[in-house]
């Protein structure tokens, strides 16, 4: 990267922490910014310039972007389905971050701006069956995204497009599909399904109860993307000439029950499943069509679920064990 100056917002979060590490490894000079106090960041990289700032504020965005070549905007108030279904207004307020960061990017004459969007932008009527057809990028329209969080993401995508058209700012957009891995949230309400299942199975094993609660009937389907593929896709999109949104997601479709099966195999334990049909479940099925990203970048996420779950489960299990020991 020839020591390019790079800003990563949301750097104290799960994906942001991994991205900062990769950019530093690639030789970039990284400014890492998050609203959380440094001691609450999932990963802190000492080689980066680590700053605490509220990027919902315009002045904070201008300060963060000053002197920066490339901006990776990952900052958002978000979490798993349990969080976004109950916090629609909070999720939509994240539009302040993208609005001010785009404006700051234009002001500081950044060369490129990356926006972390989500598969939640896709129309709900295309995700009503577990046997869902893989979602293609054009399937975001006619617009019917996830209420709250999905609308904010889709609106911010459009804003990126118009900043490119009207101001010449080079923008890049990835639609992340269910990213998982170590060094992320696994409890407290913001965790996503793979981390939640890993935690529940680990707790069941450690406690000897051998029972877990499952949201829904377990037949809902998803594709889950390991963090290494997510970071690789993010950097490849940023370095590409593709200004349209691209899926960054695995195409390996599994049911939630199959996800649990895989975690049980890794943990070496079987668990009884207690289904909560009233819990938040999101859409019935979601999978990523990777035709466009393959054509554009000659690459697509490739890490199998079983391979990515291994380090994810081990890390979460160790966090729980360490807590008990301490």
Could you tell me where in the chain the CATH 3.40.50.720 domains are found? 5-179+226-248
pLDDT score recorded for residue 324: 56
Q: What's the average model confidence in pLDDT over 5-25?
A: 98
Question: 238-280: per-residue pLDDT in tens?
Answer: 999 999 999 999 999 999 999 999 999 999 999 999 999 988 8
CATH number of 181-222+253-287+303-325: 3.90.25.10
Tell me the pLDDT tens digit for each residue of 284-295: 889 999 999 999
Mean predicted confidence (pLDDT) in 119-123: 94
Q: How far apart are CA 108 and CA 112, in angstroms?
A: 11
What is the tens place of the pLDDT at every residue in 60-103? 999 999 999 999 999 999 887 778 888 999 999 999 999 999 99
pTM metric for this prediction: 0.94
Domain 5-179+226-248 classification at class level = alpha beta
CATH 3.90.25.10 residue ranges for the chain: 181-222+253-287+303-325
Q: How confident is the model at residue 2 (pLDDT cuts 50, 70, 90)?
A: low
**Residue 149 annotated in active site:** yes
Average pLDDT across the chain, whole number: 94
Q: Let me know the angle formed at the C-alpha of 100 by 97 and 102, rounded to the nearest 5 degrees.
A: 100
> What is the rounded average pLDDT of the residues 104-117?
97
Catalytic residue of the set 149, 176, 180, 313: 149
Instruction: Indicate whether 122 pLDDT > 50.
Output: yes
Is 166's pLDDT higher than 60? yes
């Amino acid at each position: 990267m020839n020591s390019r100056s790079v800003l990563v917002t949301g750097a104290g979060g799960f994906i942001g922490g991994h991205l900062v590490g990769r950019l530093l490894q690639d030789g970039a000079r990284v400014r890492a910014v998050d609203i959380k106090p440094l001691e609450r960041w999932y990963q802190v990289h000492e080689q980066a310039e680590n700053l605490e700032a509220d990027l919902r504020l315009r002045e904070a965005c201008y300060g963060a972007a000053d002197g920066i070549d490339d901006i990776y905007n990952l900052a958002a108030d978000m979490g798993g389905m349990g969080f976004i279904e109950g916090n629609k207004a909070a999720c939509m307020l994240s539009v302040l971050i993208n609005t001010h960061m785009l404006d700051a990017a234009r002001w500081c004459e950044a060369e490129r701006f990356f926006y972390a969007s989500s598969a939640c932008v896709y129309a709900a009527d295309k995700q009503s069956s577990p046997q869902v057809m893989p979602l293609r990028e054009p399937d975001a329209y006619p617009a019917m995204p996830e209420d709250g969080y999905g609308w904010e993401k889709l609106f911010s995508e459009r804003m990126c497009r118009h900043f490119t058209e009207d101001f010449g700012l080079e923008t890049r957009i990835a639609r992340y599909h269910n990213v998982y891995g170590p060094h992320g949230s696994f409890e407290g309400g913001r965790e996503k399904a793979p981390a939640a299942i890993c935690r529940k199975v680990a707790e069941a094993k450690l406690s000897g109860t051998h029972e877990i609660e499952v949201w829904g009937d377990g037949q809902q389907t998803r594709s889950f993307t390991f963090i290494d593929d997510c970071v690789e896709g993010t950097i490849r999109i940023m370095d590409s000439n593709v200004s349209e949104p691209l899926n960054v997601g695995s195409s390996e479709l599994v049911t939630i029950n199959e996800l649990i099966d895989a975690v049980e195999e890794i943990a070496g334990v079987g668990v009884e499943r207690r289904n909560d049909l009233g819990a938040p479940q999101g859409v019935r099925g979601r999978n990523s069509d990777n035709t466009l990203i393959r054509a554009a970048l000659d690459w697509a996420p490739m890490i199998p679920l079983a391979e990515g779950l291994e380090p994810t489960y081990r890390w979460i299990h160790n966090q729980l064990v360490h807590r008990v020991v301490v």
